[in-house]
């Protein structure tokens, strides 16, 4: 659905790691319980490896052009997380990463198609498989992280550096949080949605709270140049999720974005199609394609010559402006309600908030399978 968390340098860090470590934790024998703290540490190792690899490249700091980042660093992060959970020694950890590198990489050309969600699933799967193969003594090139023909194959300016000692080591997640999306679309469109929604509020104030569609001459959207999110005429939900133009027009019409914004009836409604025809993108030289610094400005030019503008520098959900706990829970509850009963959903929330104290993290898997809190009450043991 394109609902993943997003980081800087650009990738979706959690989706490649969390499914892998949860699946692996389920495979351990009953007598070898994996605690919530074990799971958290493995997860953080997987996130850390992704962030460190991305920081070895300046190219990786911008919105990608060639490879979809989760298929590169996500595969490596999954392997590292699973290697940690398996307690592999240093040699086997190196082999796990070497094996994972041979699974890594998928072209960005499949963005805005049904295949894109497969990328992050494969990253989780292949990282887990790489760690399991390494545990069985399969070997790879232990220098793969340092080589131009290794990880350097994915980034033209890849330049690995020595990491700090453990005594002075700082976790990247302590330095920068992730962005959480409020609606399922490319992260760059979230700046567009907030700017367009604000512009709409100004427009309807002077038009009896109805968008004066017939009075709009054109809509100008100033964003960075990101070719795969420049889609003036999206025809599917996947294309709409990767369209600056669609999100600008949808937010102008409705005042906000949601999962339902990408339903077929909303994508093809006549009012939206009319507004799309009036919409054009501009790419100011100072608007760089980086999730750390990009902005969006939406200007509505009216037929009488008046203009209404608004600009978004940091959308609600960005790491500089994180979602409130209540909104984060509402997002999870809304998504989970499609497949889980309310009792299981609330059980997941409670377990996650107390994960460091959970002695046996299999309870999380059981809630995820839809089992009720009543049936699991005896398994929940908090310190």
Assign 376 a pLDDT band (cuts: 50, 70, 90): low
Q: Write out pLDDT tens, residues 72-92.
A: 999 999 999 999 999 999 999
Query: Contact at 8 Å (CB) between 101 and 147?
Result: no
Mean pLDDT of 102-117: 94
Q: Write out pLDDT tens, residues 261-315.
A: 999 999 999 999 999 999 999 999 999 999 999 999 999 999 999 999 999 999 9
Q: What is the pLDDT of residue 377?
A: 53
Q: What is the pLDDT of residue 1?
A: 63
Percent of the chain with pLDDT over 90: 87
Average pLDDT of the residues of the chain: 93
Q: Write out pLDDT tens, residues 225-234.
A: 999 999 999 9
Structural domains of the chain ordered from first start: 5-176 (1.10.4100.10), 187-312 (3.30.1330.120), 325-381 (no CATH)
Residue 44: pLDDT over 80: yes
Residue 383: pLDDT over 50: no
Residue 108: pLDDT over 60: yes
Q: Could you give the CA distance from residue 155 to residue 145 in angstroms, rounded to a whole number? A: 12
Strands (E), the chain: 216-222, 279-282, 296-302, 307-312
Assign 151 a pLDDT band (cuts: 50, 70, 90): very high
Residue 375: pLDDT over 90: no
Query: Contact at 8 Å (CB) between 219 and 301?
Result: yes
Residue 382: pLDDT over 50: no
Assign 24 a pLDDT band (cuts: 50, 70, 90): very high
Query: Contact at 8 Å (CB) between 8 and 57?
Result: no
Lowest mean pLDDT of 48-62, 201-215, 335-349, 364-378, name the range.
364-378
Q: What is the pLDDT of residue 373?
A: 54
Neighbouring C-beta atoms of residue 202, cutoff 10 Å: 12
Peptide bond into 9 cis (omega under 30): yes
Q: What is the pLDDT of residue 244?
A: 98
Side-by-side strand order, sheet with 279-282: 279-282, 216-222, 296-302, 307-312
The counts of H helices and E strands in the chain are 16, 4
């Amino acid at each position: 659905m394109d609902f993943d968390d997003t980081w800087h340098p650009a990738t979706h860090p959690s989706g490649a790691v969390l499914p892998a470590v949860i699946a692996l934790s389920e495979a351990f024998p009953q007598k070898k319980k994996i605690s919530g703290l074990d799971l958290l540490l493995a997860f953080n190792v997987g996130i850390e490896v992704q962030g460190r690899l991305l920081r070895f490249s300046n190219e990786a700091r911008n919105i990608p052009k060639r490879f979809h980042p989760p298929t590169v660093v996500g595969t490596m992060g999954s392997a590292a997380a699973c290697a940690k959970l398996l307690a592999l020694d240093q040699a086997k950890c190196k082999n796990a990463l070497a094996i994972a590198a041979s699974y890594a990489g998928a072209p960005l050309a499949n963005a805005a198609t049904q295949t894109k969600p497969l990328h992050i699933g494969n990253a989780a799967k292949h990282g887990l498989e790489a760690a399991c193969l390494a545990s069985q003594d399969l070997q790879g090139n232990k220098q793969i992280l340092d080589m131009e023909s290794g990880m350097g194959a994915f980034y033209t300016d890849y330049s690995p550096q020595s990491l700090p000692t453990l005594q002075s080591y700082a976790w990247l997640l302590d330095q920068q949080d992730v962005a959480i999306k409020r609606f399922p679309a490319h992260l760059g469109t979230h700046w567009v949605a907030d700017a367009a929604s604000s512009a709409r509020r100004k427009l309807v104030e002077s038009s009896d709270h109805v968008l004066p569609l017939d009075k709009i001459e054109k809509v100008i959207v100033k964003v960075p140049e990101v070719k795969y999110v420049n889609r003036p005429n999206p025809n599917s939900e996947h294309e709409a999720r990767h369209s600056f133009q669609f999100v600008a027009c949808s937010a102008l019409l409705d005042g906000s974005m949601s999962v339902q914004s990408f339903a077929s009836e909303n994508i093809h409604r006549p009012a939206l199609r009319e507004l799309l025809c009036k919409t054009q993108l501009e790419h100011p030289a100072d608007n760089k394609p980086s999730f750390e610094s990009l902005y969006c400005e939406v200007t509505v030019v009216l037929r009488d010559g008046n203009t209404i503008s608004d600009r978004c520098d940091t959308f609600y959900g960005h790491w500089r402006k994180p979602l409130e706990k209540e909104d984060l829970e509402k997002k999870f509850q809304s998504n989970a309600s499609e497949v889980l009963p309310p009792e299981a959903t609330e059980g997941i929330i409670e377990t996650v908030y107390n994960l460091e104290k959970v002695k046996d993290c299999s309870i999380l898997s059981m809630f995820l399978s839809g089992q009720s809190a009543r049936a699991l009450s005896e398994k929940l043991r908090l310190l």
